[in-house]
Amino acid sequence: MRRPARSLIAGTLVIAVALGFLVYQGLASSLVYYITPSELLARGVHADGQHFRLGGQVVPGTVHINRTMKTVRFLMRDPKGSIHVTSQGIPPPLFRAGMGVVVEGTWTGALFRATDLLVKHCSTYRAPEPGHVPPPDNCVT
């Protein structure tokens, strides 16, 4: 092979690898990974003081919002375990018992102290019909 052809192939390969790396980095940074309450409990004392994203369902009847102190407390569960969560700030308007949430914060061994509370909602939106009140999450059921 001639020298210019090799240089062209090598240059194209370097550009392709660089673009692939940039695409990979972009996708990896936009994904949100979380663990479940049972996975956190399985880590035991090794998880104390560590920062996590935790995903699960809000247990009905456990939500306590203190608007004066701007805190919310609730129990989060998955099929195998549950954890008490406290969060600073008033929760988003879609927050309610029985729904899925993702919280980010620190595990103290008995309580998860959340710094962020994200509401999981459906990806299908339907505009309400004229004269009808939309459901709280406005999802197609």
Write down how long the chain is. 141
Report field, pTM of the whole predicted structure over 0.75: no
Indicate whether 28 pLDDT > 70. no
Q: Confidence band (pLDDT; 50, 70, 90) for 47?
A: confident
Strand 100-107 to 51-58 pairing:
antiparallel
Domain range summary for the chain, segments of one domain joined by +:
1-31, 37-119
Nearest of 14, 20, 102 to residue 54 by alpha carbon: 102
**Residue 21: burial class (beta carbons within 10 Å; 0-12, 13-18, 19+):** exposed
Sign, CA torsion 112/118/124/125: positive
Four-way CATH pick for 37-119: 3.20.20.10, 2.30.42.10, 2.60.40.10, 2.40.50.140: 2.40.50.140
Mean pLDDT of the 90-114 span: 89
Q: What is the pLDDT of residues 54-80, one digit of tens each?
A: 999 999 999 999 988 999 999 999 999
